[in-house]
Amino acid sequence: MGEPFGVKSIGALSRGLTVMHAVEESSALTLAELHLQTGIPKASLLRILKTLIESGWVVRNELERRYAPAAAPGNAGAAAQWRARLSALAAPIRAMLERRVPWPTDLAVRDGSTMLILDAHRPINSLAVNYRVLGFRPAMLVSSLGRCYLAFCPEEERRAIVATLSRKPNEQDRSALRKDVLQRLVAAGRSRGYCTRDPSELGSDSPERFGAISVPVFAGQELIASLSCSWLPRVTDEAHIVAHHLTALRDAANLIGERALSAGLVPSAR
């Protein structure tokens, strides 16, 4: 076949790629910002964005009404739809939480052997966490989100996750794969009702130099997510966060779980 110079290009596809490029370059944009950057009419933008969302390439941050690149690009199956519904349902609750807790919070669900953050948004209060560097998938055995999920999930599910991690462990996860370490992690989390991130020392230039605690989110008896709060160690510490913000974090987790249960958003419904 010859070169397709005589073939007409697809204008709609070109506009879609323009929008996708703008979203990726800026990390998160409102509809108005996309209109200013691309010059595409808002009505057309809404149709393009709807297509990109349904195809699994873009997500809408319900807290800030911004469009961002999907954490798992191209994943548009039932699990992606379940996550989108959970994110939308949790958005007003998280907005209330942000009025009570002056530090960034994240809601994450398990996706295979990692956690997947829903609606990762901009840090506040100068928290030096580069979400674009860290990505949307924190390590299961290092992050407070993953450690919390492991601590509160059923034993059979925990064994399956650990078996997967042991076959292809993240370098940071490796030391935590020992049975005694895992047993202590689970016992401590269940005793306190929350989990902390791995306290191991990190390089001074690491984007992961922050503290975090996470609480479980249950829909009835089923664990569906982890909800975290992160902070800068040079500004505050775990004791202060627990004393002043743990209750608010638990209240939000309980409310998200109740709303999810009412909406039928349990893992078995994915």
Mean pLDDT by groups of 10 residues along the chain of 270 residues: 64 85 75 90 92 81 73 64 87 92 92 79 44 59 92 94 77 67 91 86 54 95 95 90 97 97 76
Structure tokens at 265: 């958003």
- Please tell me the distance from the alpha carbon of residue 149 to that of residue 85, in angstroms, as a whole number: 20
For residues 262 and 192, membership in a common domain is answered with: yes
Q: Tell me what pLDDT residue 133 has.
A: 37
Q: Identity (one letter) of the amino acid at 49?
A: L
**Structural domains counted in the chain:** 2
**What CATH number does residue 39 fall under?**
1.10.10.10
Which ranges constitute the DSSP H helices of 121-226?
131-134, 144-152, 155-167, 179-192
Structure tokens at 50: 């709807």
Q: Tell me what pLDDT residue 198 has.
A: 75
For residues 47 and 102, membership in a common domain is answered with: no
For residues 92 and 220, membership in a common domain is answered with: yes
Whether the Cβ atoms of residue 115 and residue 196 lie closer than 8 Å to each other: no
For residues 153 and 212, membership in a common domain is answered with: yes
3-class DSSP state of 251: helix
For residues 58 and 89, membership in a common domain is answered with: no
**What CATH number does residue 134 fall under?**
3.30.450.40
Q: Identity (one letter) of the amino acid at 214?
A: S
Q: Tell me what pLDDT residue 57 has.
A: 80
For residues 155 and 202, membership in a common domain is answered with: yes
CA-closest candidate to residue 230, choices 149, 172, 144: 144
Q: Tell me what pLDDT residue 203 has.
A: 46
For residues 132 and 50, membership in a common domain is answered with: no
Question: 22, 42, 75 — which closes off a domain?
Answer: 75
For residues 98 and 173, membership in a common domain is answered with: yes
- Please tell me the distance from the alpha carbon of residue 194 to that of residue 196, in angstroms, as a whole number: 7
For residues 81 and 71, membership in a common domain is answered with: no
